[in-house]
Each structure stands twice: as structure tokens, then as C-alpha cells.
């Protein structure tokens, strides 16, 4: 993450774009917070699973977070029933 991108030029921003694991943000202007959150979820390798009771809409307020690719249905069920 690189903060204060509102204080640099486009040329400097282009140079910084070559840095690995880079997310440009401006905390003061609240720019690119969605991009930062997406990158954090990508690097954590975690999925959000939204559950729903039968016949009702999904609950988007409290997802269950599970490791991506390493969680079976049984492990997921054990996690939500603890």
C-alpha cells in the first residue's frame, strides 16, 4: 500500500505501478479503498460464504470466512455449528 497518491504526479504514479504488491490509495480523499480491500482478501486467500435459511434471503451482514481451496463442506459445517 502506498498512501498519499494525491500528492504525487502521474509520472511518479506510473513509476510506482512497477512496484510488486502495490496498491495506491489516498486516505485523506478515501481513494481506492475498495482496491485495497480486494488485494487484502486476495493475499489472505480467504473466501466469504454467505449462508441463508431455506425460503429467506441471504444474510449479507455476517459471512463465514473460510480458507480458499482448503475447506470442505464438512469443515464449513463444523465451523458454523461451533
Is 14 buried (19+), middle (13-18) or exposed (0-12) by CB count in 10 A? exposed
- Given a cut of 90, whether residue 72 has pLDDT beyond it is no
Same domain, 26 and 39: yes
Question: What is the reported pLDDT for 82?
Answer: 65
Same domain, 51 and 39: no
Count of Cβ atoms closer than 10 Å to residue 1 Cβ: 13
Name the residue with cell 464438512.
74
Same domain, 2 and 38: yes
SS3 5: helix
Find the CATH number of the domain harbouring 78: 3.10.20.30
Tally of domains in the chain: 2
Same domain, 39 and 53: no
**Residue 25 lies in domain:** 1-44
16-43, pLDDT tens digit by residue? 888 888 899 999 999 999 999 999 989 9
d(CA 27, CA 9): 17
Count of Cβ atoms closer than 10 Å to residue 24 Cβ: 19
Amino acid at each position: 500500500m502506498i498512501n498519499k497518491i494525491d500528492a504525487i504526479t502521474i509520472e511518479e504514479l506510473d513509476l510506482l505501478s512497477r512496484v510488486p504488491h502495490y496498491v495506491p490509495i489516498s486516505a485523506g480523499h478515501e481513494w481506492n479503498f475498495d482496491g485495497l480491500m480486494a488485494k487484502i482478501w486476495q493475499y489472505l486467500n480467504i473466501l466469504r460464504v454467505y449462508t441463508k435459511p431455506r425460503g429467506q434471503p441471504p444474510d449479507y451482514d455476517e459471512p463465514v470466512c473460510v480458507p480458499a481451496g482448503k475447506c470442505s463442506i464438512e469443515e464449513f459445517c463444523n465451523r458454523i455449528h461451533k
